[in-house]
Each structure stands twice: as C-alpha cells, then as structure tokens.
Amino acid sequence: MKCEIGADGRPRIVEIDPALEPFGFFLETDVGGDAGLCDEMLAAMDRVEAGLLDEVETGANVHEVTISRDGVMLENDAAFPPVSASYSLQPVRELIRQWLQCILELPMNEQHGGAR
C-alpha cells in the first residue's frame, strides 16, 4: 500500500492490492487519522493470536470488524449492495501498520488519539 496526505490534510490511499481495497476504504473512512484506533486493532490481533481472547469486534462509522484466530471479517451493511470481506491476519496487520506510518506523517494537530 502507498498512501499520501491529501490536499485536505487527511491521509488517503493511492495504491493498494485490489483484494484489500475494502479494508483500505475502512481505514480511510472509519479510522482516518486515529493512531490510537490503529494501536487498538494491532493489540487486539496480538491478544487473539496469543489465545487471550477468542475474538474482538469493533464498529466504527459504517463498518464492523471482527478479529479472530480465523482472520479478519469486514462488513459494511450501509453500502449498496452490502460489502463483506474476509482476510487472514497478516496482510491486515501489515496494512494497519502502513496506515499508521502514514498517520504519523500528519502534523500533530491533525492526529487523533494523541502523540506518539
């Protein structure tokens, strides 16, 4: 994935594996500049993989994300037609890390979730 800071000062994806586009849309629209939410999702993946949790569900603006040992399920019931996609953990983890890097390039007043 490649991202940039758009003219509006927000991170946006400019290149992504087509199979990951639905999750990329989730990052742009629901996560946005929230570095804390990225950290929470990465920590949830770690806890699930370590067997500390069976699954973690998170909902944001229009997406529902479920993280389990089987992978990551993304659902957007607000889309027409509704969008549902499933992924293995590793590609999503890498995508979230890359998005987080893009967020960290934002000026501090544009970041949500605090400074690093």
- pLDDT per residue as tens digits for the range 76-108: 878 788 889 999 999 999 999 999 999 988 765
From residue 81, how far is each of 64, 75, 77, 89 by CA, in Å?
Answer: 15, 11, 8, 25
78: exposed, middle or buried (C-beta count within 10 Å: 0-12, 13-18, 19+)?
exposed
E-strand spans in the chain?
Answer: 2-5, 11-15, 55-59, 64-68, 71-76, 83-87
Residue 7 has pLDDT above 90, yes or no: no
DSSP 30: I
- Give the whole-angstrom CA distance, residue 92 versus residue 96: 6
Q: Is the pLDDT of residue 116 over 80?
A: no
Q: pTM to 2 decimals? A: 0.86
